[in-house]
Amino acid sequence: MDNQETNKEEVKAEEPVPQTSIDFKPEPIKVTDEQKDTFFKAWLSDQPYTEVHQLFGGRFPIKFKSLNVTENSDVMRQISLDQQRNIAKNDDTYFLKIVQYRLGLSIDEINGVKFFPHITKESVKEDSVEGITYVSERAKEFDKWPVFKLAGVQGAFRDFESRVLQLTTLLEDPDFWKAAV
């Protein structure tokens, strides 16, 4: 009988277990008609696309701008300098540093105040031996922030960049242009 009870327990263990589907595909970014219009105007005028993200219920507005080709090249130059200095590793830590390089150039304002306007390409002398550029200097400012603040701002930045990509993809859709007119 003990053997039969053991078999019953085994049968119970073999009953189907509910499965959970895990879909790592991100949700599509929602794009408003106003964002389409703003993006369209930026596109036509060769100006950066900007958005204000309201963190903490609007108590911490942060304005992001899309990078231009020169700024994007400046980030790539910084990465190249990091590689020459053996700082650029293929790991999560360095990936976060690249995000900070992009974030440092993309933040336009925080609480209506320009983000470190004194740290510019013109004001920072590039030092290729030390790997210093205005990109690294702007990113260095994040080292002073608490981790939770940086994480919150990076989350808003991720949403902003995702929306820019979504808007760029939507340019191929003829209905986008109807909404933008």
pTM reported for the whole predicted model: 0.78
pLDDT in tens, 141-153: 999 999 999 999 9
Task: Name the residue among 89, 91, 94 with its Cα closest to residue 136.
Answer: 94
Contact assessment for residue 179 and residue 48, using Cβ atoms and an 8 Å cutoff: no
| Residue 11 pLDDT | 46
pLDDT in tens, 54-103: 988 889 999 999 999 999 999 999 999 999 988 887 777 888 899 999 99
Residue with tokens 């078999």: 7
Instruction: Specify the DSSP element, H or E, that contains 61.
Output: strand 60-65
Longest dimension (CA), the chain: 86
Domain ranges of the chain: 30-180
| Residue 13 pLDDT | 47
Contact assessment for residue 71 and residue 132, using Cβ atoms and an 8 Å cutoff: no
pLDDT in tens, 107-141: 999 999 999 999 999 999 999 999 999 999 999 99
